[in-house]
Amino acid sequence: MEPNSILLDIAFILLAARAFAEIATRINVPPIIGELVAGIVLGPSLLGWVEPNDVLALLAEIGIILLLFEVGLETDIGRLVKAGSSAAVVALAGFILPFVLGFVLSLYVFDLSVMVSLFVGGTLTATSIGITARVLSDMGRIHSQEGQVVLGAAVIDDLLGVFLLAVLFEFSVSGSISLMNTGKIILYAGAFFLIAPVLAKMLVPVIKHYHFQSKVPGLLPIVLVSLVLIFASAAHALGAPELLGGFVAGIALSRRFFLPFGAALTIDPEFAEHTHQQMRPIIQLFTPLFFVMVGLSLDLGAVDWSSVFIWVFSITIAIIAVVGKMVGPWLIRETRHRKIAIGMAMVPRGEVGLIFAELGRTANVFDAEVYAGMIIVIAYTTLVSPIWIKAFYKRYGHHLPADS
């Protein structure tokens, strides 16, 4: 892997992301769709100019962490806590129902093995908090009641996804479940979630103090980006299984640190706004890398589009993928329009679904046809959901106050 080629890859990604986002905006489509399409165009699906690699994956991970830090800055922590019970119901329903439906359908309708069916169901449990947060932010809905429920539910979904992935990975490798390995991941993630808010509140006054004492500009972005790297590294060093290390570090630990950390900054709104102003250019630089990487990972060129099985399987599973996430909001006390908005925002599978599918492929659980079918489902829920959500708010947004 030559440094020169990586530099060209990054240049292509940044320019393509910007160009396609501009085009998407001009045709009244969410800019995130443009960035996802840029990845599909540059990647193996079409031109094949850029291949996913570890360097791009790291930069993309920093991008999504910084995006969630920005979401934290814009989050009313009191409202997020208040939405906790509703978020838990939405998350659990959106986790259990797609898993059960995907498993039963794969096992009894498509006659797949138990292991394959478990991985299909597991892939359908995912919710991409990065895509959900970006769409809601772009539409100015992150402060809304449904925005807080979705954000809380997506966080819980990610945690549950880590645990399920650990169990399925263990089962696929050894044919049994190691309570020690699974318990270790649950313990680390749970401990971090208890420690992160406390640590955030302790660090914010220190950073604020030294920021105003510093004689050299740029202390805030340097400290915050450094914290991203330190916590990601520390999470990986905790001893998660090799193949799951990056996933656990990214989803269960390092990403989540920056949600409470960003929210802790809102105790002083003026300083939070000052932080936001300094971080915004860095966030705008790194965030598109993440969404382009999601597009790069969707190798639609590998799909045998003439296969009847792939079409029937992917369409059926896609219906389950959508319905499974739409049911949960109807179990909470909200208005009809808000329930629909919450359900739609929970549908994108994005990078989390891709991780499940990729693990199924590398563990030799998914054959080429099942893997291709799952990629189509993930691509559909990822690419179409932002368009649905924007169209819904355009038509029914007057029923949903942005700050209620």
| SS3 state at 377 | helix
Q: CA-CA distances (angstroms) from residue 72 to 120, 147, 192, 254, 297?
A: 32, 12, 17, 13, 27
pLDDT at 64 over 50: yes
Higher per-residue confidence, 255 vs 396: 396
pLDDT greater than 90 at residue 353: no
Out of 148-157, 164-173, 341-350, which region has the weakest mean confidence (pLDDT)? 164-173
Mean of pLDDT values over 117-128: 86
The predicted model gives 384-393 an average pLDDT of 84
Question: Which three-class secondary structure state does DSSP give residue 263?
Answer: helix
Give the residue, 16 or 277, on which the prediction is more confident.
16
pLDDT of residue 241: 39
Arithmetic mean of pLDDT over the chain? 76
* The residue to which tokens 């199924």 are assigned: 360
Query: By the 8 A CB rule, do 130 and 286 touch?
Result: no
Cα–Cα distance measured from residue 240 to residue 181, given in angstroms and rounded to the nearest whole number: 8
C-alpha dist (Å) from residue 135 to 30, 59, 227, 367, 394 = 7, 21, 26, 33, 13
How far apart (Å, rounded) are the C-alpha atoms in residues 127 and 216?
41
Confidence of residue 186 (pLDDT cuts 50, 70, 90): low
Whose CA is closest to 231, among 209, 250, 254?
254
Q: Does the pTM of the predicted model rise above 0.85?
A: no
Which of the residue ranges 103-112, 193-202, 230-239 would you say has the lowest mean pLDDT? 230-239
Domain boundaries, the chain: 3-399
CA distance 61 to 55: 10
What would the mean pLDDT of 243-250 be, rounded to a whole number? 40
Return the minimum-mean-pLDDT range out of 5-14, 153-162, 279-288, 334-343.
Answer: 153-162
Residue 177's pLDDT is 60
Fold of the CATH domain 3-399: Na+/H+ antiporter like fold (1.20.1530)
Stretch 353-367: mean pLDDT: 78
- What is the Cα–Cα distance from 235 to 241, expressed in whole angstroms? 12
What are the residues whose beta carbons fall under 8 Å from the beta carbon of 54, sequence distance 6 or more? none
Show the tokens assigned to 299.
């190798």
SS3 373: helix
pLDDT at 269: 65
